Amino acid sequence: MDRINTSHRSKSLWTITCLLLLVTLLIGGCSGAARNPSSSAGEGTGASGSNGTETNQGQTPPSTPEAPEEPEKPADPAAKLLDELSTEEKIGQLVLVGMDGTEPNDVTRQLIEEYHVGGFIFYKNNIQDTKQALALFNGLKTANQNKAVPLFLSVDEEGGRVSRMPGELAKLPAARKIGNTGSTELAGQIGEIIGKELAGFGLNLDFAPVLDVNSNPDNPVIGDRAFGTKPEIVSRMGIAVMKGIQEQGIIPVVKHFPGHGDTSVDSHLGLPVVEHDLDRLQKLELVPFKQAIQEGADVVMIAHLLMPKLDPDHPASFSKAVIHDLLREELGYEGTIISDDMTMGAIVEHYDIRDAAVQFIQSGGNIVLVGHDAEKEKQVIQALRDAVNSGTISTETLDERVYDVLKLKQKYQLSNDPAQGPNTKQLNQDISDILKPYGL
């Protein structure tokens, strides 16, 4: 009996011992399994023989990244240059003048040095041949060398009867002949040729193309200078020429806003009166200008026309109703605006040129063109100075007008660097090649 009990107790102790051993193994296994994820994470981060808790204890919590600084806005070079100009220098940028003679002289030097003019326009009497023309243009650039703002050097180069290029260069056909072909490809090529010619001489602005619709057969001043009698053809051909000129780095000026095509008076001699209302203008005369603005026209020239239904008291060239209300506001034009020549009969026979110039700037214009007579050029500049000094033209208005001019000059990278001259032989060959297929 005692042996049986002793044996039973021995078996019970053995069983308990086994159970305790099993529990110990199970607890150890669970503990080891609990460390494995941390150990793996530690190994994955390069920690050797350390569990996750030990690894994290040795690390600095990640900091919240700082918000990146906003990049500085790019500097506006036109605004910077504007700030550097004196009031008299600013006023000079609002005037583009003509000159007498075929070479720089005391008057042109005075206009540059004392009156700070923004540029020059050249007519046929200023240009004799290629060599002389190049010397003239480069001479004016040299005279302007110490100025912060390069000069506009400009001509009327339309082709046909309005051409200023020297006789060594082949003549281009009038706009009407180009329009009659119906080829916008040809029109674009004509624009490119004009641009190359001007660029070769170091010129930088062309008073072309004409966007007038020649709707009056008795018109004494437009005629074959227009691309046609329909706004659609004038738009297509004129804009193609405009873009061709732009592609050569030359500034085109579309003219004569709001439309000189239905006049019977030459504004060089007298003041034309156009009786059309805005509804008629929207359907015909304004169509090419609207499209040119949409296609990137840089400069618009304002004509000397009296349009009583828009403004009975002022010609378009210094009418707030035409320049600001119609061109700026209704058509949304934000580019540069230049007047037609203020020494034309339409102005000097009826108005004081000084008052006309001041009112042009007040009405939203940027550049007063004074193509002839050095005394009138100086009078206009002095009138603008007086208007600014008296507050008739506010400082804010002055800065707005000049800013547009500076921005345009910088866009086209105008400089005082001398030109090397055109490749006359190549240009003449190019002209022949593009005209031949059209029998022109």
Instruction: Give the angle 232-237-241 at the CA atoms, nearest 5°.
Output: 145
Is 268 tagged catalytic? Answer: yes
Name the catalytic one among 206, 212, 262, 340. Answer: 340
**Rounded Cα distance, 18 and 313, in Å:** 121
Name 154's bridge partners.
121, 205
CB distance 372 to 98 below 8 Å: yes
Q: Which two tokens stand for residue 410?
A: 């910088």
**Rounded Cα distance, 234 and 238, in Å:** 6
Can you count the helices (H) and strands (E) in the chain? 17, 8
CB distance 157 to 206 below 8 Å: yes
The sheet that has 205-206: what strands, in order across it?
A: 336-339, 299-302, 251-257, 205-206, 152-155, 119-122, 95-97, 368-370
Name 122's bridge partners.
155
Is 417 tagged catalytic? Answer: no
Is the CA virtual torsion 317, 320, 326, 329 positive or negative? positive
Name the catalytic one among 266, 268, 324, 399. Answer: 268
Q: Is the peptide bond between 256 and the residue preceding it cis, with omega within 30 degrees of 0?
A: yes
Q: Return the number of other C-beta atoms located less than 10 Å from residue 210's C-beta.
A: 30
Q: Which two tokens stand for residue 376?
A: 């009138």
Q: Where are the beta strands (DSSP E) in 265-305?
A: 299-302
**Rounded Cα distance, 86 and 89, in Å:** 5
151 contact partners, CB below 8 Å, separation of at least 6: 112, 117, 118, 119, 120, 140, 141, 144, 414, 416
Active site amino acids: 268, 340
